[in-house]
Structure formats: structure tokens, C-alpha cells
Structure 1
Amino acid sequence: MSEAKTALRDQLLTARNRRSLLEIGEAARAISGHLLAHGPVRRAATVAAYVSVGGEPGTGALLDGLRAAGKRVILPVLRPDHDLDWAVHDGDLRPAGRGLLEPAGPRLGVDAVAGADVVLVPGLAVAADGVRLGRGGGSYDRALARVPAGTPVLVLLYDDELLPGVPHEPHDLPVTAAVTPSAGLTPFAPSR
């Protein structure tokens, strides 16, 4: 991992840790509203999403809204090899390692993400070309490699996490858009 990536991750995580619960909650509501009104999400039968942790923009209201709209929501389950398995979110979440919450239902396999109509991913920042900076475990890069070209892949961020550029490596896969509280959807040139 490059020193530039490590330094930027540290800076972004420090900024997130300084956010108030009020700011995190307001961001979560705004992002949820943008996504639930977004055409591809409204038309989707299956949405691959995630359960936010720590200072990430909250996903609780979004997950509830997706389920209330009749969407099949699949959530990641971190495997011992750091790849992502998937399971349907039925409203029941259980504690998992690393402070994560995961669905309690049967596992669908690592390829289940390929069947999602929209994929929502966490990140720390995204560049103007759609390159996402994650936490560095590589789990989402592996999962995104299974997502068919043309599938919307959206990263949920705070407004100040849209950056002109981020350090990246060949295995870092771009997203198609970012969703932030104030700007809503920011699309990137298709490269998937």
C-alpha cells in the first residue's frame, strides 16, 4: 500500500471521527432521500448495500426505505479471506467481527453481487474520475470485479470527500457515481 494512500486515509478517518452525531444523522437522511428518488434505485428489484459503521454516512434509514419500497436488499458478510459473501437483509442483523453487523440469513455466495441492479458501496473518498478510496482491505475491489459492466455502482460519502484525485493502484475499480448530502448524485464518465 502506498504511503500517499495511507496518509490520505488517516486524514479522512480523522475528519470523520470529528463529525457530530447530528451531522452524521443529517447526512444519512439526505443521502437516503437522494437514493430513494434516483431512477435506477426506484426501478431496481435487487440492491446490494451495506451497513454503515462508525463515522460513515449512516445507512439505517436507507436500508429501511429500500425494504419498505419492496426491494430485495443484499448485504455483505465478510469472509475469513476478506472477500465478501452476501445475504438477504430481512431486518435482522447480528454482530460480526471488526464491529460490523451482518444479516443472519443464509449465505448467497460471493457472486450474488453480480445479480444486483444497483450496488451501493462505502468509501472514504472518490476522485473526479470515479476512483474510490476505500479502507484498504480490498474486499470491495474483489466484489466490484464481479459486477457486470453497466450496473450502477454508487459510493456514499460526505460532501468534502469528493476530491480532484486520490492515490490508486491498478486493482482499484472505479464507481459510476458518488452520492453526498448536498450535491446528491455526482456521476462519473463510464469506465466499467
Structure 2
Amino acid sequence: MPDRIEQAKRALRADLRERRQNRSESARADAALGVQAQLDALIERLGATSLSCFLSTTTEPGTHEFVEAAVARGLRVLLPISRDDGLLDWVVATPGGAIAEGLFGLPEPVGEVLGPIAVNDVDLLVIPAAAVDHGGMRLGWGRGYFDKTIGSMERCPPVYAVVFDSEYVDDVPRDVHDQPVSGIVTPTQTITFASANR
């Protein structure tokens, strides 16, 4: 049974990855602006003063501009660093902060490293996803970092996954360790799920 689920996840991820790689530069730039506007509105609505956010790769909905603007406005933004043991360390984002290639070739911040529990103090988690279904189940990229983080938090704040509009789908394959999200942010909309209990 788990093999069937894993095969379905792999196939869906491959399809989504290919679609992302086929987006034009202008479509990606427009998406980044849309994501920034949606995240700014979400922060305002939630009254968040501290949050975690990921640094997007070139094919993901862009978050770099959002992070820069949030830091400039005085918000405390924690950026993740992948560890070999499957946990995430955190760095506080700074204006014009340096970025290096981290584990798995992902963009990660350079700075003073805080341990995994640093994220327990944030008001909002903004995380990556390959897709999210209408019930709020998130399909990640298969390494489990964010599922582990969400699942281990004593008091988990709202968790919003950033995806392209076409990645909000009817259903995603799920396993027992997969964690749902409170909502999604796309370049054109923010959706909070009725079932969100975070």
C-alpha cells in the first residue's frame, strides 16, 4: 500500500516539476508580485509580527521580494536551513542578507544559525509545496522537513503553503506522516480551509 502511495506521489511531483520548469520568466515575475501582495494581506489580516518563510528556487512561486519587503517593514522573518538529520535550523533574515546553496542545492540564508525550536515563536509559517488539495492536504517534495516541523510543534501557528493556482487540486496522495495546512497562498488568491484547526 505505501508503495502505491509513493509511486502516485512521485508521478504527480514529476508532472508538477515539469510544468513549473516550462513557465516563462515573465510569468514567474508576475507570480512573485502576486504572491507578495497575497502574503502582505495575510500578515495584515492575522496581525503577524514574526513568521517563517522559505527562499524560493527559480521555478517556485517567488518569495525573495516578499522576504526583503517584510524585513524592511520590521517583521521578524526566520528562513530555514536543511540539516542532514531531517530537521530545520533557522536564520533571522536581514536586509540584503547573503544566500548560499544549501543541502539539495536549495537557496539558504547565511547568518547566525538558530536551532529547530526557534520556529516555535512565530505567528505564521509560510512553506513550500508541490500541490495542495481542496481538503488542505499538502504534497511536499518528498524529504519531509516541513511535515516533521509542523508535526513536532507544541503550539502550531497557521500554516500556509505557497503554490501556483494550477497546483490547487482536487486530491493529492497522502501518507500517515503527511501534515495538512491551514490554507494556501497563490499569485491570485489566499484560501483558508474550513477544516483548519491551527
CA contact (8 A) 1:36 1:42 kept: no
2:91 to 76, 87, 92: 87
Write the mapping of 1:96-107 to structure 2, written as runs, cut at 5 A: 96-107=102-113
Matched position secondary structure for 1:75? strand
Alignment of 1:109 with 2:115, yes or no, is yes
Q: Output the aligned Cα RMSD.
A: 1.6
The one-letter code matched in structure 1 to 2:190 is L
**How far off is 1:98 after superposition?**
2.2
1:126-156 Cα shifts (integer Å, max 9, x gaps) = 0111110010001111111134556110101
1:186 to 183, 191, 198: 191
Cα distance in 2, alignment partners of residues 34 and 138 from structure 1: 26
Question: Given the two structures, how large is their TM-score scaled by the length of structure 1?
Answer: 0.93
Matched position secondary structure for 1:178? strand
**How far off is 1:74 after superposition?**
0.5
Report percent identity of matched pairs.
35
Alignment of 1:47 with 2:41, yes or no, is no
Cα distance in 2, alignment partners of residues 138 and 150 from structure 1: 17
Cα distance in 1, alignment partners of residues 135 and 150 from structure 2: 16
2:77 to 73, 91, 94: 73
Alignment of 1:137 with 2:143, yes or no, is yes
Matched position secondary structure for 1:37? helix
Q: Unaligned regions of 5+ residues in structure 1, if any? A: none
- Residues 33 and 148 of structure 1: CA distance in aligned 2, closer, same or farther (over 3 Å): farther
Cα distance in 2, alignment partners of residues 171 and 97 from structure 1: 22
CA contact (8 A) 1:40 1:118 kept: no
Question: Given the two structures, how large is their TM-score scaled by the length of structure 2?
Answer: 0.90
Alignment of 1:36 with 2:47, yes or no, is no
**How far off is 1:82 after superposition?**
2.6
Structure 1 residue runs of 4+, over 4 Å off? 39-42
Alignment of 1:167 with 2:143, yes or no, is no
Write the mapping of 1:6-25 to structure 2, written as runs, cut at 5 A: 6-25=10-29
Cα distance in 2, alignment partners of residues 149 and 163 from structure 1: 28
Q: Unaligned regions of 5+ residues in structure 2, if any? A: none
Q: Which moved more, 1:102-111 or 1:167-176?
A: 102-111
The one-letter code matched in structure 2 to 1:186 is I
Matched position secondary structure for 1:145? helix
**How far off is 1:39 after superposition?**
4.4
- Residues 99 and 41 of structure 1: CA distance in aligned 2, closer, same or farther (over 3 Å): farther
Residues paired across the two proteins, number: 191
